[in-house]
Amino acid sequence: MRLFAFYFISAFSRMRTFDTHLDFENYWFGKSEPVKPAGIRAADSAFLVLFSASWCGPCKRLDMDTIEATAKLHGVPLWKVEQTVNDYTAGFCDIRALPTFVLFTPRVIVSKVTSSSTDEVVNWINGVCPLPAKAK
């Protein structure tokens, strides 16, 4: 059981997080200054956000390595919003259940899916995110 807990923590620790609503808003709305602390510039293309919580059992059932690999295949960055740390962003995006994945483009919520099934999430990503030209 301890091995699983360590694996779960290490899988989520590779994902970038929006720790405050300002980090999220600066990235999504395209502010010109860099987002701290990641040091990346504001989004100019689509990105995925996982809304989850450390206490959420269904969130822990997700195979994040598979989901991250699918997002990477489509060339879409995957971010995480921890509900217990940043509840403002979840409310702003009208998140009603966890885990929820949301596809954003600059200033637009494109699609949402709420599911604890890795296969469902992967199929959703494959359906809403086009493959980059070199991957086809």
- Map out the domains of the chain with their CATH numbers: 2-127 (3.40.30.10)
pLDDT digits (tens, 9 = 90+) for 31-77: 544 444 444 444 568 899 999 999 999 999 999 999 999 999 998 99
DSSP string for residues in 15-36? SEE--SHHHHHHHHHT-SSPBT
- As given in the structure block, the two tokens for residue 79 are 């971010």
Bond preceding residue 132 cis, omega within 30 of 0? no
pLDDT of residue 54: 92
pLDDT digits (tens, 9 = 90+) for 63-121: 999 999 999 999 899 999 999 999 889 988 999 999 999 998 877 899 999 999 999 99
For the full predicted model, state whether its pTM sits above 0.85: no
pLDDT of residue 14: 65
pLDDT of residue 130: 81
